[in-house]
Amino acid sequence: MESRDPIENDSQFMRATVKTLFEAVSVADSEALRPLLADDAIMELPFAIPPFPSAKSGGEAIASGIKGGSRIFTSFRLAARTFYPSPETNSIVVEAESEGRLAKGGTYSNQYVFIFKFASDKIVLWKEYFNPLRLPDLSS
């Protein structure tokens, strides 16, 4: 039964949206990801190191960038562990972790803190913090 509390409904919506986003990222499905993002969405990765971008602008550019995951990984899973919704600010903070098998051989895992901000039921800000020392080497 759906809650009649608007704050609880917002929290549930944000959780469900982030879970859908993580599922799309896990399989590099840009078509499933795109409807979740506002046209003017911004993705920030403050700890990214080259060749990974530290920011992307626009829902289409962000969704298209996810396709690159299929060239890096033969399998990848991004899973939420803990949600900290803030309906008053239309935001949610998420602790997550990933595991993957690299196309060049080997494995990858990391832990993350994400901040997602929403407007009109779309993600307008995707801020992703992770350990950059664990990023795969993409040279050669």
For the chain (length 140 residues), average pLDDT per consecutive 10?
69 97 96 98 93 92 90 94 96 97 92 97 97 71
* Residues 26, 32: Cα–Cα separation, whole Å: 11
User: In this predicted structure, what is the pLDDT of residue 68?
Assistant: 80
User: In this predicted structure, what is the pLDDT of residue 138?
Assistant: 55
The DSSP call for residue 34 is G
For tokens 């990933």, the residue is 98
Going along the chain from its start, the domains and CATH numbers come out as 6-132 (3.10.450.50)
* Residues 33, 65: Cα–Cα separation, whole Å: 11
User: In this predicted structure, what is the pLDDT of residue 43?
Assistant: 98
User: In this predicted structure, what is the pLDDT of residue 42?
Assistant: 98
- DSSP H or E run through 20: helix 6-26
User: In this predicted structure, what is the pLDDT of residue 1?
Assistant: 47
User: In this predicted structure, what is the pLDDT of residue 34?
Assistant: 98
User: In this predicted structure, what is the pLDDT of residue 139?
Assistant: 57
User: In this predicted structure, what is the pLDDT of residue 89?
Assistant: 96
Neighbours of 45 (CB within 10 A): 17
Q: Which residues pair with 122 in a beta bridge?
A: 119
* Residues 63, 21: Cα–Cα separation, whole Å: 10
Q: Can you give the pTM of this predicted structure?
A: 0.90
